[in-house]
Structure 1
Amino acid sequence: MTATRSPETGTGEEPAAGPAPARSRRAEVRRVRRGLGRRAQGARRRVRRGTRRLAARALQAWRSSLQVRIAAITTVVAGTVVVIVSLVLFSQIRDQLLDVKRQAAIDQVQAGVVYAQNEVTGIATGDAASVRSTLTRAVNSLLERGGAAGDFDVVMVYRPGNPDRTTTTRRPLYEALPQELRAVVDSGSQASKYDVIPDAAGENRPTLLIGAPVLRDDQAPDRIELYYSFPLQQEQESLSLIRSTVVISGVALTLLVVGIALLVTRLVVDPVRRAAGTAQRLAEGQLEERMAVRGEDDLARLATSFNAMADSLQRQITQLEGLSQLQQRFTSDVSHELRTPLTTVQMAAEVLHESREDFAPHVARSAELLRAELDRFEALLTDLLEISRYDAGAAVLDAAPTDLGVLVGRVVDGMSTLARRHECELQVTRPEDAVLAEVDARRVERILRNLVGNAIEHGAGHPVEITLAANPSAAAVTVRDHGVGLSAGEAQHVFDRFWRADPSRVRTVGGSGLGLSISLEDARLHGGWLQVWGQPGAGAQFRLTLPLVAGTDLTSSPLPLRPVRLRRPGVPR
Structure 2
Amino acid sequence: MLASARSALARAAASAARLWRRSLQARVVLSTVALTALVVALLGVALLRQISDGLVGERVEVALAEAGQSSAEVQKSLSAASTDFDVEAQLSDLAARVVERGRSQGYDVVLIGPLATSPGSTGDGTGPTGGGQRFSPGLDPTSVPPALRRKVESPTGGGDGWTYTELRSGGGATGSDEPTRVPAVVVGSRLVLPADGGTYALYHLFPMGQEEQTLALVRRALLTSGLLLMLLVAGVAFLVARQVVTPVRLARRVAERIASGRLEERMQVRGEDDIARLAGSFNQMAASLQKQIRALEDMSAGQRRFVSDVSHELRTPLTTVRMAADVLHDGRHRFDPVTARSAELLHTELDRFENLLTGLLEISRFDAGAATMHLDRVDLVDVARRVVGSMSLLAEDAGVRLVLLPPDLPCVVEADALRVERVVRNLVGNAIDYARPAIVPDIEVRVAGNDTACALTVRDHGVGLAPGDETRVFNRFWRADPARARTTGGTGLGLAIAREDARLHGGWLEAWGRPGEGAQFRLTLPRRAGEDPVSSPLPLQPEPAPSRAVTR
Give the alignment's TM-score, normalised by structure 1: 0.85
- Residues in 1 aligned to 2:522 and 2:371: alpha-carbon distance in whole angstroms: 22
Contact 2:435 2:460 in 1 (8 A): yes
Q: 2:90 aligns with which of 131, 140, 156?
A: 131
Q: Does 1:204 align with 2:190?
A: no
- Residues in 1 aligned to 2:298 and 2:133: alpha-carbon distance in whole angstroms: 116
* Structure 1 vs Structure 2 CA RMSD: 2.3
CA apart distance, 1:129: 4.6
Contact 2:266 2:286 in 1 (8 A): yes
- Residues in 2 aligned to 1:279 and 1:176: alpha-carbon distance in whole angstroms: 76
CA apart distance, 1:174: 4.0
- Residues in 2 aligned to 1:53 and 1:160: alpha-carbon distance in whole angstroms: 72
Q: Does 1:447 align with 2:405?
A: no
| 2:443 corresponds to | 464
Identity of aligned residues (%): 46
Give CA-to-partner distance per residue, 1:473-514, whole Å, 9 cap, x none: 222211111222111233231110001122332356543210
Contact 1:547 1:553 in 2 (8 A): yes
* Correspondence list, 1:459-498, <5 A: 459-461=435-437, 462-498=441-477
Q: 2:64 aligns with which of 86, 102, 106?
A: 106
Unaligned runs of 5+ in 1: 1-42, 568-573
Contact 1:86 1:246 in 2 (8 A): yes
* Correspondence list, 1:258-337, <5 A: 258-337=234-313
Q: 1:545 aligns with which of 520, 524, 536?
A: 524
| 1:191 corresponds to | 161
Q: 1:96 aligns with which of 29, 45, 54?
A: 54
- Residues in 2 aligned to 1:178 and 1:365: alpha-carbon distance in whole angstroms: 125
Unaligned runs of 5+ in 2: 118-128, 172-176, 547-552
| 1:55 corresponds to | 13
Q: 1:223 aligns with which of 199, 207, 224?
A: 199
Q: 2:498 aligns with which of 492, 512, 519?
A: 519
Decide whether aligned partners of structure 1 residues 408 and 156 sit closer, same or farther in structure 2, where only a CA change above 3 A counts: closer
- Residues in 1 aligned to 2:201 and 2:396: alpha-carbon distance in whole angstroms: 126
| 2:107 corresponds to | 152
Letter in 2 for 1:132: L
My pick for the range that moved more, 516-525 or 497-506, is 497-506
Decide whether aligned partners of structure 1 residues 457 and 211 sit closer, same or farther in structure 2, where only a CA change above 3 A counts: same
CA apart distance, 1:264: 2.0
* Correspondence list, 1:338-353, <5 A: 338-353=314-329
SS state of the match for residue 455, structure 2?
strand
Decide whether aligned partners of structure 1 residues 404 and 205 sit closer, same or farther in structure 2, where only a CA change above 3 A counts: closer
CA apart distance, 1:219: 7.8
Q: 1:78 aligns with which of 36, 56, 64?
A: 36
SS state of the match for residue 530, structure 1?
strand
My pick for the range that moved more, 180-189 or 332-341, is 180-189
| 1:213 corresponds to | 190
- Residues in 1 aligned to 2:145 and 2:523: alpha-carbon distance in whole angstroms: 93
| 1:375 corresponds to | 351
Give CA-to-partner distance per residue, 1:430-452, whole Å, 9 cap, x none: 13543322111101111111111
Q: 1:69 aligns with which of 27, 34, 37?
A: 27
Contact 1:160 1:221 in 2 (8 A): no
SS state of the match for residue 163, structure 2?
strand
Contact 2:108 2:136 in 1 (8 A): no
Give the count of matched residue pairs: 520
Letter in 2 for 1:352: L
Q: 1:535 aligns with which of 478, 492, 514?
A: 514
CA apart distance, 1:240: 1.1
Contact 1:352 1:367 in 2 (8 A): yes
| 2:144 corresponds to | 177
My pick for the range that moved more, 494-503 or 199-208, is 199-208
Decide whether aligned partners of structure 1 residues 472 and 198 sit closer, same or farther in structure 2, where only a CA change above 3 A counts: closer
SS state of the match for residue 505, structure 1?
coil
Contact 1:356 1:363 in 2 (8 A): yes
| 1:354 corresponds to | 330
Q: 1:437 aligns with which of 410, 413, 427?
A: 413
CA apart distance, 1:93: 0.5
Contact 1:159 1:167 in 2 (8 A): no
SS state of the match for residue 193, structure 1?
strand
Decide whether aligned partners of structure 1 residues 231 and 540 sit closer, same or farther in structure 2, where only a CA change above 3 A counts: same
Decide whether aligned partners of structure 1 residues 432 and 247 sit closer, same or farther in structure 2, where only a CA change above 3 A counts: closer
Decide whether aligned partners of structure 1 residues 161 and 266 sit closer, same or farther in structure 2, where only a CA change above 3 A counts: same
CA apart distance, 1:364: 2.8
* Correspondence list, 1:545-564, <5 A: 545-564=524-543
Give CA-to-partner distance per residue, 1:407-450, whole Å, 9 cap, x none: 21211222123122212211222135433221111011111111
Letter in 2 for 1:117: Q
- Residues in 1 aligned to 2:380 and 2:369: alpha-carbon distance in whole angstroms: 27
My pick for the range that moved more, 442-451 or 467-476, is 467-476
- Residues in 2 aligned to 1:469 and 1:137: alpha-carbon distance in whole angstroms: 109
Give CA-to-partner distance per residue, 1:81-124, whole Å, 9 cap, x none: 21222112111101110111111121112222232233223324
Decide whether aligned partners of structure 1 residues 533 and 120 sit closer, same or farther in structure 2, where only a CA change above 3 A counts: same
| 1:165 corresponds to | 131
- Residues in 1 aligned to 2:537 and 2:301: alpha-carbon distance in whole angstroms: 39
My pick for the range that moved more, 519-528 or 75-84, is 75-84
Contact 1:457 1:508 in 2 (8 A): no
